[in-house]
Structure 1
Amino acid sequence: MKLLTLAALLAGLTGAVGATPVGLWKTIDDETGQPRSHVRITERDGRLSGRIEKLLVPPATPDCVKCSDERKGQPIEGLTILRGVRRDGEANWGGGDILDPKSGKVYSVRLTELDDGRRLEVRGFIGVPLIGRTQVWERLEP
């Protein structure tokens, strides 16, 4: 019994240290506090990307009409909004960008895991992280 308890404790510690934001997240609008979408974050070659899997609030238009890059005119549902993010410390990720499909603007991004990976602080900014906006997403599944 003691061996089983020790194994479970060690597995929990290993999971916390090696945790990543990979999984399905419910985005929460920082202005309204309401859920907006489900975003699936995946990792490939040490870099994260995130794609909108499901919209919880129908947009005014289903396509990203305000986007100015290759995503212009693409359906918002299925759109990759998070790109090129890499580990930057034990619980932080950065160096990539995030798209706001509503405005079409692209921001630098920093991700910080909170509450043992159950929540994710998503900070979009221009220039320095002090100037920007923060959303806290909730994990739906690993």
Structure 2
Amino acid sequence: MKQVLMTLCALFITVALYAQSDPILGKWQNPSGEGRIEIYKKNGEKFYGKLYWIKDSAKKDAKNPDPKLRSRNIQGLEILSGFVKESKTYVDGTIYDPKSGKTYSCKMTLKGDDKLDIRGYIGISMLGRSETWTRIK
């Protein structure tokens, strides 16, 4: 009986850990290799991404529309916000582009284990630009 209980506990713990993990979580690199983004969950349900490394770590957010934010470092900036998972696609989020200082609607789609298609757009997805990020192992 004790062994059955131990086995059930181990099974429940494994299922709980698997349910908490999501394949989009982790570290990703943009195609140019200039930036690396860590995607994480906040408040238990929405997905966010922080620019944790950039080639020029001293670079400032000089194009930000808010003059008060232009002196902050780009490294450490949360550039992905508010995504909700729908199967292998993450929707209803935004992406901030520090090169232009603009924020766009965005969706992300997993392509296998190590590719993530990012589509930033204005209004409808057809009016946008895509790039593919690669998982950092």
Task: Place the TM-score, normalised by the shorter chain, in its bin.
Answer: 0.7 to 0.9
Report the secondary structure of 1:48's partner residue.
Answer: strand
Runs (4+) of structure 1 exceeding 3 A deviation are: 69-72
Q: CA deviation at 1:94?
A: 1.1
Structure 2: gaps of 5 or more residues: 1-17
Asked whether 1:62 is paired with 2:59, we answer: yes
Map Cα deviations across residues 100-140 of structure 1 (whole Å, 9 max, x no partner). Answer: 1000010000000002x310000000000001110100001
> What is residue 136 of structure 1 aligned with on the other side?
132
Report the secondary structure of 2:136's partner residue.
Answer: strand
Q: Distance in 1 between matches of 2:46 and 2:25?
A: 10
Q: CA deviation at 1:19?
A: 3.7
Q: CA deviation at 1:73?
A: 2.8
The amino acid that maps onto 1:104 is G
Asked whether 1:118 is paired with 2:114, we answer: yes
Q: CA deviation at 1:23?
A: 0.3
Q: CA deviation at 1:26?
A: 0.7
Report the secondary structure of 1:38's partner residue.
Answer: strand
Q: CA deviation at 1:72?
A: 3.7
> What is residue 91 of structure 1 aligned with on the other side?
88
In the superposition, the TM-score normalised over structure 1's length comes to 0.74
Q: Distance in 1 between matches of 2:36 and 2:63?
A: 21
Structure 1: gaps of 5 or more residues: 1-14, 29-33
- Superposed, 1:1-142 pairs within 5 Å as 19-28=22-31, 34-44=32-42, 45-56=44-55, 58=56, 62-69=59-66, 71-87=69-85, 89-115=86-112, 117-141=113-137
Q: Distance in 2 between matches of 1:54 and 1:107?
A: 21
Q: CA deviation at 1:20?
A: 3.1
The amino acid that maps onto 1:136 is T
Structure 1 residues 114 and 71 mapped into 2: Cα distance closer, same or farther (>3 Å)? farther
Q: CA deviation at 1:71?
A: 4.6
Alignment RMSD (CA, Å): 2.1
Q: Distance in 2 between matches of 1:40 and 1:75?
A: 16
The amino acid that maps onto 1:90 is S
Report the secondary structure of 1:127's partner residue.
Answer: coil
The amino acid that maps onto 2:73 is P
Report the secondary structure of 2:90's partner residue.
Answer: strand
